[in-house]
Amino acid sequence: MTGDLSYDLSDDEQELAALVRQFADEVVAPGSYEADRTKTLPLDVVAQMGEMGLFGLPFPEELGGQGGDYFALCLAIEALGRVDQSIAITLEAGVSLGAMPVFRFGTDAQKAQLLPDLLAGRALAGFGLTEPEAGSDAGATRTTARLEDAEWVVNGAKQFITNSGTDITRFVTVTAVTGERDGRKEISTIIVPNGTPGFTVEPAYDKVGWHASDTHPLTFQDARVPEANLLGERGRGFANFLHILDEGRIAIAALSTGAAEGCLEAAIDYAGTRTVFGEHLSSRQSIQFMIARMQLRVHNARLAWHHAARLRDAGRPFKVEAAIAKLTASDAAMDNARDATQIFGGNGFMNEYPVARHYRDSKILEIGEGTSEVQLLVISRALGVA
């Protein structure tokens, strides 16, 4: 870990971080270029992550989890993000957006049916919030679900849905308008299993980055599911998902910190071995200062997500701190990717080098789980100036 923060970690947390870092270096990194090139999520790696207990980290043991906390999950995500953002986001979305809504808002029957395979990494689930006309303004949801003969009939479309079309995807949870309350849309959440007639997982996107992450648009045409597939209280779907997004921003901040550190480590190594005009790049003060600023960004990003995660796990308010962490860390990832690519020169433009993939991958960190502008809005509102 570049910049030792072990004073902030317990012995168990240090052991977990080291274990996942070793797994990332020895198992994930060697296949990351091929997975990116072929745009294939390596399910064998996902299975190994499941066997390590990574998908169950923040869940109680009685439900099949590891009995840890959100901080532990974020340590794992950061370690993976150093070498492969696609794998890191698969874990992040699998937990924060797949399993966590069921854990937070599901009935005992839903938890018993769905969580064991999700927490073991045997199954994945998607989080259907974003739509063609509803992104940052998720309250503009147009997907509908009406009750008919004790079934929800779902119609609409979702886009940019992670983990929605893999061979082990079990279901997606979608926000849908289920009526009106006091003249406003009543938005609820419905569990729609993959394979439901009328539910179509459309062809995967041709993305700029995160090539090995599974991402699809979804359409629903009179897709019918049992009334019992309502997740949480009717009419609370939007509010519940906002809470899930706040948590997810901490995890994205951890992923971003890992990406920023991966770029820093690569830049240090390359500058120390690359010879130009008879000297190592690292002998140039301009390169030294560039790398020093990269370290500064990693340090600040890690402090920010650590603080937000500790608040969350202590049961204290963390909404603003999560926004600060996400904004700080996503900026760090993008800036470090740019600087590392510059240090690598022409090689930094070749996809076989990790910094090139980080350069492509990191842009979405400033968009997903709430854009940078949304984070600024959250912060400014808390200050009373918006």
Which band of pLDDT confidence, cut at 50, 70 and 90, is reported for residue 7?
low
Which band of pLDDT confidence, cut at 50, 70 and 90, is reported for residue 114?
very high
pLDDT digit string (tens) for 342-353? 999 999 999 999
Q: What is the mean pLDDT of residues 219-223?
A: 98
Q: Is the pLDDT of residue 304 over 70?
A: yes
Q: Provide DSSP, 30-49.
A: HHHHHHHHHT---HHHHHHH
Query: How far, in Å, CA of 58 to CA of 54, rounded?
Result: 9
List 148, 186, 369, 373, catalytic entry: 369
Q: Is the pLDDT of residue 134 over 90?
A: no
Question: Percent of the chain having pLDDT more than 70?
Answer: 97
Classify residue 275 as exposed, middle or buried by CB count within 10 Å of its CB (0-12, 13-18, 19+).
exposed
* Longest Cα–Cα distance in the chain: 79
Helix (H, G, I), strand (E, B) or coil at 53: coil
Q: Quickly name the fold that domain 125-234 has.
A: Butyryl-CoA Dehydrogenase, subunit A; domain 2 (2.40.110)
Question: Percent of the chain having pLDDT more than 90?
Answer: 87
Q: CATH: 3.40.50.1110, 3.40.190.10, 1.20.140.10, 1.10.760.10. Which one for 239-382? A: 1.20.140.10
Contact by Cβ (8 Å): 263, 340 = yes
- If you search the block for the tokens 């270096």, which residue do you land on? 25
Q: Is the pLDDT of residue 338 over 80?
A: yes
Q: Is the pLDDT of residue 6 over 90?
A: no
Stretch(es) of the chain classified as CATH 1.20.140.10? 239-382
Contact by Cβ (8 Å): 49, 77 = no
Stretch(es) of the chain classified as CATH 1.10.540.10? 6-124
Q: Does domain 6-124 have CATH number 3.30.420.40?
A: no
Stretch(es) of the chain classified as CATH 2.40.110.10? 125-234
Q: Is the pLDDT of residue 289 over 80?
A: yes
What does the chain come to in residues?
386
Closest CA to 281 of 337, 339, 344, 338: 344
Q: Is the pLDDT of residue 243 over 80?
A: yes
Examine the residue annotation and report whether 26 is marked as an active-site residue of this protein: no
**pTM of the complete model:** 0.95
pLDDT digit string (tens) for 147-183? 999 999 999 999 999 999 999 999 999 999 999 887 7
Which band of pLDDT confidence, cut at 50, 70 and 90, is reported for residue 1?
low
pLDDT of residue 137: 73
Q: Is the pLDDT of residue 385 over 70?
A: yes
CA atoms within 13 A on the CB side of 31: 18
Q: Is the pLDDT of residue 253 over 70?
A: yes
pLDDT digit string (tens) for 72-106? 999 999 999 999 999 999 999 999 999 999 999 99
Q: Residue 185 corresponds to which amino acid? A: K
